Structures are given as C-alpha cells and as structure tokens.
Amino acid sequence: MIRKILHYPDPRLRQKAEPVLEMTPEMKKLVDDMAETMYAAPGVGLAATQIGEPHRIFLVDVAGEDEPSDLRVFINPEIVERRGECVGPEGCLSFPGVTEDIKRAAEVRVRAQDRDGKSFELEAEGLLAVAIQHELDHLDGVLMVDHMGMLKRRIVQRKLQKRAIEATR
C-alpha cells in the first residue's frame, strides 16, 4: 500500500522514532509499504517518520535508472564511524521542490538489522553514505533545514509554509 508522505512543516516530522523490538508481521508490512511508497515517489530513500510511523526504520536504494534495484532495509540503525567530509546537493520527499547543498561525512560505517531482524554492518561512501545520514536524521526528527544557514532556511520555510496553507484551501 502506498502511504502519504508528510511535508514540512508537519509536526510529525519532528517526532523521535522508537526502536523496533521485534520484526512482527506488522513491522514487515510497514517495510513493504515503505518500499512501495519510496519507489512510487520516486526517492532514493525513505524513513518511517516521513509516513507518520515513529519506528526506527529506513530504506535506501541508490541504484541508477538503468541498474537493477538495490533495496537496503535498516532497522534500529547506528552510525558507528564517520570519516571525511563532503558537500553536495540533497533533496527530500518531505521538502518537494527544494534542493540544497549540505555538508556530511564522506564515509560512514553503519550497524543495523535487516527486514528479518538479522544484524549487519555496512561501509558506505558516495550517495549511499549521504542517504544513510539523511535518513538517520529523519528518525531523530532532524530535517534538511536544520543543516542550512539562516537565510536559506527562511527561504525554504516560507516557500513550504505558503504551499501548506494553499493546500488547505
């Protein structure tokens, strides 16, 4: 089932997600809904927070258009190591039409569980590393605007607040 993606400034995007204690059938269904929602959007990643589900789950698929899909599921993710620095343009499905340069670690080592609850560790760089950091932020209620300077932040806030008001008309 495709779920509705929340847009900034929806207050649910600021909720801190809770750890997943067990991969129940309900949680697996949530993962499947998230995959369907992410591919339909389409997006490179999706955090459960973005569909109003406060659980520590995100998905990432950084495969190119002409490559086979490469879905990665992260449950209870933790970044255990960060190296280097990089700045690059980021978009977010909760900020439609917004793209801004954001500074991140260039490489990360992440520990998480998969859809079956099995633990794994992964070394990531490039877009995968950036997407992992972006998604982990969502689980802590941290958003793109929090990484921007005051000027850019105000421009983005005005743009999306105006759109949210228009949407209720």
Report the catalytic residues. Answer: 135
Q: For Ni ion, which stretch binds (CB under 5 A), given 10-18, 87-95, 97-105, 115-123?
A: 87-95
Distance, CA of 88 to CA of 104 (rounded, Å): 8
Which of 90, 145, 147, 160: binder of ligand GNR (CB under 6 A)? 90
Which of 20, 30, 47, 128: binder of ligand GNR (CB under 6 A)? 47
* Comparison of 4 and 169: residue with beta carbon closer to ligand GNR: 4
* Comparison of 22 and 75: residue with beta carbon closer to ligand GNR: 75
Q: Which does 145 bind (CB under 5 to 8 A by kind): ligand GNR, Ni ion, none?
A: none
| Cα-based torsion angle of the residue sequence 123, 126, 127, 129 in order, rounded to the nearest 10 degrees | 30
92 scored as a contact of ligand GNR (CB under 6 A): yes
Q: How many CA atoms lie within 13 A of 105 on its CB side?
A: 18
Q: 62 is written with which tokens?
A: 């950084």
Q: Which does 130 bind (CB under 5 to 8 A by kind): Ni ion, ligand GNR, none?
A: ligand GNR
Is-cis flag, bond preceding 42, omega within 30? Answer: yes
- CA nearest 106: which of 87, 119, 91? 87
Distance, CA of 67 to CA of 74 (rounded, Å): 21
Which of 38, 48, 73, 92: binder of Ni ion (CB under 5 A)? 92
134 scored as a contact of ligand GNR (CB under 6 A): yes
Q: Which residues of 129-166 are buried (b: 16+ CB within 10 A; e: fewer)?
A: bbbbbbbbbbbebbbbbebbeeeebeebeeebeeeeee
Q: For ligand GNR, which stretch binds (CB under 6 A), given 76-84, 105-113, 132-140, 151-159?
A: 132-140
The binding site for ligand GNR (CB under 6 A) comprises 43-47, 50, 90-94, 130-131, 134-135, 138
